[in-house]
Amino acid sequence: MTERVIVIGGGPAGLMAAEVISAAGFGVDIYDAMPSVGRKLLRAGIGGLNLTHTEPAADFVQRYGAQHTRVGEWLQQFAAQQVRDWAAGLGIETFVGSSGRVFPLGMKTAPLLRAWLQRLGRQGVRVHPRHRWCGWDDAGALCFSTPHGTRKVDAETTVLALGGGSWQRLGSDGAWMPWLAARQIAVAPLRPANCGFEIRWSDHLRQHFAGQPVKSVTLRVGAEQRRGEFLITRHGIEGGVVYAFSAALRDAIERDGQAVLSIDLCPDRALPRLSADLQHPQGRDSLANHLRRRAGISGVKAALLYEAAHADQLHHMPQLAALLKALPLTLHATRPLDEAISCAGGVMFSELDAQLMLHALPGVFCAGEMLDWEAPTGGYLLTACLASGKVAGDGVVARLLSRESRQSARGYPTPP
């Protein structure tokens, strides 16, 4: 009987690998720990599934930071346009939002995932839910924990697409790391990416402003600046433009024990103008009214100002203007990995060939977020997961075809 390829992990990376391998005529079995596949993908669709981004390819690839060269190789196979074409092939048209982000019409994941699983079913892919992979036994068989006990599966060709370590309740928990490390595969520790940060808020700010968005501000970290919005949380800040800086902020906290970001609360007014506006006579206005009337600062923005300002700065208008243009916030820690949108770390690229096969374990390929890359939100995560699934799937097909051609040259029968 023809060998079937084992894909472990039914997220976007594993499903894409399964699609490519089955389209080439090889049998595929997908094993997943959860009762159904694609749970994180479905969760990503709540609030709008951001599939990819339309910015120029040269800018797009830079989003992968230190790993842009390796991820760029995947994107040469499968990038933003291919993501859109692929979705269209599943009957899901896409549109470009105002920020260049690409979403499915209707914004939802469920129709896309449904059509995708139907296509995989037509291509003969079998899905085995509730099969938690627990590593290899001494003979090299894959071991799965199932509701009916341990199941062992011999496999010559395996794709691991086990995801990262955030939102563990959706399936990916990073439990695979020691099993690969035991096989001498270098794995970088998983760290939060696109994550929230902790700030020592006063009780007043926490009680009255947690959950409120801070809109239309510019954040600066070092020489980088970006406009957007973010959310005040009980613990600190998260979301939106904070995610764009989260790698730099996380690295600074790991290095220095804290990170400082600066917020421009009045990005549409230059400092001299703001300072002049605030120096208008205050008359009988309270400071709160003066700030609201002269600088448009009220609500959560005023609360942030009071949180960061010293008492003597509040009555010196040029100093107050300078503070509004560059309000420093000190971040003490990242929020836990489990809360992050994605993670950094994972199987290091030194362990993988160009087709994402492990040098140390021939026949074992890896794809998706379990590899050591990271990117901001904006559709870059899913694009790279899909692209790596495509590269690993192509790698599997090339390996199986070359084995078949070697066998037929030796006179062995080849699979139908």
The CB-of-55 to ligand FAD minimum distance in angstroms stands at 14
The owner of tokens 């030796």 is 410
CB of 377 to ligand FAD, least distance (A): 6
Phi, psi of 203 (to 5 degrees): -60, -35
Query: Which residue reads 């959950």 in tokens?
Result: 211
* Binding residues for ligand FAD restricted to 170-209, rule: CB under 6 A: 171-172, 175-176
Within 379-398, the residues that bind ligand FAD by CB under 6 A are 379, 381-382, 385
Q: Does 32 bind ligand FAD (CB under 6 A)?
A: yes
Kindly state whether residue 14 participates in binding ligand FAD, applying the rule CB under 6 A: yes
Binding segment toward ligand FAD, per CB under 6 A, in 5-13, 81-89, 120-128, 329-337: 5-13
Of 43, 196, 31, give the one whose Cα is nearest residue 130: 31
Interaction between residue 159 and ligand FAD (CB under 6 A): no
Task: Locate 191 and state its tokens.
Answer: 């760290």
> Which residue's entry shows tokens 């103008």?
273
Shortest reach from residue 378's CB to ligand FAD, in Å: 7
71 belongs to the binding site for ligand FAD (CB under 6 A): no
Looking at the DSSP bridge assignments, the partners of residue 94 are 104
The size of the interface with ligand FAD (CB under 6 A), counted in residues, is 38
Residue 212 CB, shortest distance to ligand FAD, in Å, is: 20
Identified binder of ligand FAD from the candidate list 167, 201, 230, 245, rule CB under 6 A:
167
Q: Pick from 3, 43, 231, 338: which binds ligand FAD (CB under 6 A)? A: 43
What is the distance between the alpha carbons of residues 97 and 100, in angstroms, rounded to a whole number? 5
9 binds ligand FAD (CB under 6 A): yes
Residue with Cβ nearer ligand FAD (15 or 259): 15
Provide the residue type at 53 as one letter: H
Looking only at residues 303 through 362 of this chain, which bind ligand FAD when binding is defined by CB under 6 A?
341-342
Shortest Å distance, C-beta 318 to ligand FAD: 43
Residue of the chain from 369, 372, 374, 394 that contacts ligand FAD (CB under 6 A) = 369
Return the residue of 5, 37, 320, 356 that touches ligand FAD, per CB under 6 A.
37
Options 4, 12, 60, 263; binder of ligand FAD; rule CB under 6 A: 12
Question: What x/- string results for residues 118 through 147 when contact with ligand FAD is judged by CB under 6 A?
Answer: --------------xx--------------
Closest to ligand FAD by CB, 173 or 264: 173
**In this structure, what token pair is assigned to residue 177?**
């790391």
Are the C-beta atoms of 20 and 390 separated by less than 8 Å? yes
Point out which residues bind ligand FAD (CB under 6 A): 8-14, 31-34, 37, 39-41, 43-44, 49-50, 132-133, 161-163, 166-167, 171-172, 175-176, 341-342, 368-369, 379, 381-382, 385
